[in-house]
Amino acid sequence: MTETALPLTPDYDAWPIEAHILTVESSPRQVSVRWSDGRVSRYHSIWLRENAADETTVNPATRERILDLSTLPAWPEIGSVGIDDSGALCIDFVPEDRRLRFHPGWLRAHDYDNATDAEAALIPVTTWLGGPDEQPDSLDASGLLDSAPGSAAEEAILAPALESVLGKGLVRLRNLPTEPGSLEAIARRIGPVRPTNFGELFNVRAKPDPDSNAYTAIALPPHVDLPTREYHPGLQCLHCLENSVAGGEAVMLDGFAVAEALRERDPQAYATLTRVHWRFANTARTTDYVWHAPMICLDTRGELLEVRIADFLRGPLQTAFEDVEPAYEALMALQRLLREPGFAIRFTYQPGDLVIFDNRRLLHARDAFEGDSGHRWLQGCYLERDEIRSRYRMVQRARRQRRIGAEDR
C-alpha cells in the first residue's frame, strides 16, 4: 500500500502517534490491532464505518457527519485490512466496495476496547476542605488581556486557571484591570457569557430598593446562584473593582466535600437529599422563576453532579406528605455541616481580583459589611460548564499540535 501521507481525522484535533500499528487481523465484523507497545485493540466494523473521515462520511468543510447508516446497502462488513506506508489502517468495506483509511493516532486515542471510563473528567475532581490558613489557587493574570487570543502567552495564564476550576471548582486571578465592564472581555477568553434577568454583567453592591439580598450589606449564607433555573449557571465570575469597606469577607465552600461528609456521617440524610425535590423560587417584582430539584444531584453513575443549596431561594416544600419531616431533618443535618468552619476558606477581595468558580459545585457566602465605611463593588457574570471544558480541550489541542510540529522538525 503506497499511501505516504496520513489520512484526515473526523475532527479538527491533532493526534500524536503514541504507538505504531504492527499487525492487524479481522473477521467480517471486527478488526483487531496490535500496537508496537503490545496493546491489542478491537474495533467493530459498524463503529469504524461511521467514524471514517472520507467525504461520504463527514462534510470536509465542517467535519460533521453526513452519513446515515440506514442508507447503506447492508451492515458494513470487512473484506480486507492492511497497513499502508504512512502507518494508517486501511479497510475495504463490503458490500459498499469502499476503501477507507484511519489515522493511527486518532484510532489509538479512541480505543474503546481498553477504555476504563468513557466519561472520565478532563481533570480529576479533587474535593477540598477549608480552614484559617487555606486560600484559593491564585495566579498572576496581569498580562491576560494583552495577550493574543489563542497565543502561548494566553495559554500560560488560562491553562492552570482552567485546571483549577475543573479540578477544584475554584481559582482566583489577580492583578487584572479594574475598569468597569472589563470582566466581559476577560470572561470571553473562556467562552460566551450567559445572560440572565440580571443582565450579562451584574453589579454586586449595596443599592436602594434591592431585588436580591446580594445587593445589600447583609451577610449571605452559603449558596449557589440561580438554583431557580432548570439549568442553573455552571460558572460564575466575580471581579473586584473596589473594596474599601469594613467587613464583607468572602467565604467559599466545596459543596462536593460537604455532600461527601454528609454521606459518611448521615447516609439517610444524604439519600433523602438526593431524592426529595425541593421548590426553588425567585418571585421578584418583575419575574417569577421556579424549579423543583434535589439539593444533591447525582449522575447516572451515582457520582456527584451538582448541588442546589440556597436557603433564601427555597419556596414552600411540595412533596409527598410522608417525606416532609425526613426532608427537613436531612436539611438541618446539611445546614449544621455548612456552619462548620473546617469546610470554609475566607478571603478579602482586592481590586483587580477575579474569582471564577463552578456554581453547580461551590457554595459562596459573604460576611456583612458596613455600607457607610467605604465602597464595595464587584461585577459578575455567568458562563456554562460546557465553555470551560471546550476551552480546555482547545488548550490541549494546541499543545498536541505544537508537539506534533516539534516532532516533524
Into how many domains does the chain fold?
2
Q: Rounded CA gap, 36 and 103, in Å?
A: 15
Domain end residue (candidates: 115, 130, 147): 115
Distance, CA of 53 to chain centre = 28
Together in a domain, 73 and 190: no
4 pLDDT above the threshold of 80: no
Cell of 341: 468552619
Q: Are 202 and 381 in contact (CB under 8 A)?
A: yes
Per-residue pLDDT, 372: 65
Q: Confirm whether 16 is domain-assigned.
A: no
Among residues 217, 202, 153, which one has the least CA distance to residue 376?
A: 217
Residue type at 203 in one-letter notation: N
Together in a domain, 105 and 147: no
Q: Confirm whether 236 is domain-assigned.
A: yes
* Cα dihedral: 91, 94, 97, 100 (round 10): -20
Predicted confidence (pLDDT) per residue in 218-257, tens digit: 888 999 999 999 999 999 999 999 998 877 789 999 999 9
Instruction: Decide: helix, strand or coil at residue 327.
Output: helix
Provide the CATH number for the domain around residue 65: 3.30.2020.30
Residue type at 396 in one-letter notation: Q
Q: Confirm whether 227 is domain-assigned.
A: yes
- Burial of residue 104 (number of CB atoms within 10 Å: 0-12, 13-18, 19+): buried
Q: Confirm whether 408 is domain-assigned.
A: no
Provide the CATH number for the domain around residue 218: 3.60.130.10
Domain end residue (candidates: 64, 83, 115): 115
Q: Rounded CA gap, 296 and 292, in Å?
A: 12
Query: What residue numbers bound the domain in which 32 lies?
Result: 21-115
Together in a domain, 246 and 191: yes
Predicted confidence (pLDDT) per residue in 307-325, tens digit: 999 999 999 999 999 999 9
Together in a domain, 99 and 168: no
Together in a domain, 144 and 239: yes
Q: Confirm whether 283 is domain-assigned.
A: yes
Predicted confidence (pLDDT) per residue in 373-394, tens digit: 668 899 999 999 999 999 999 9
Together in a domain, 177 and 63: no
Phi, psi (5° rounding) for residue 153?
A: -65, -40
Q: Are 361 and 255 in contact (CB under 8 A)?
A: yes
Radius of gyration of the chain (CA): 26
How confident is the prediction for the chain on average, in pLDDT?
93
Cell of 224: 449557589
Together in a domain, 193 and 46: no
Together in a domain, 308 and 205: yes
Together in a domain, 109 and 257: no
Q: Confirm whether 279 is domain-assigned.
A: yes
Per-residue pLDDT, 25: 97
Together in a domain, 57 and 178: no
Q: Rounded CA gap, 336 and 338, in Å?
A: 5
Q: Are 31 and 25 in contact (CB under 8 A)?
A: yes
Residue 158's alpha-carbon distances to 12, 139, 172, 178, 238, in angstroms, are: 21, 9, 12, 19, 16
Among residues 109, 35, 31, which one has the least CA distance to residue 76?
A: 31
Together in a domain, 205 and 347: yes
State whether the Cα torsion 71-73-77-80 is positive or negative. negative
Together in a domain, 33 and 147: no
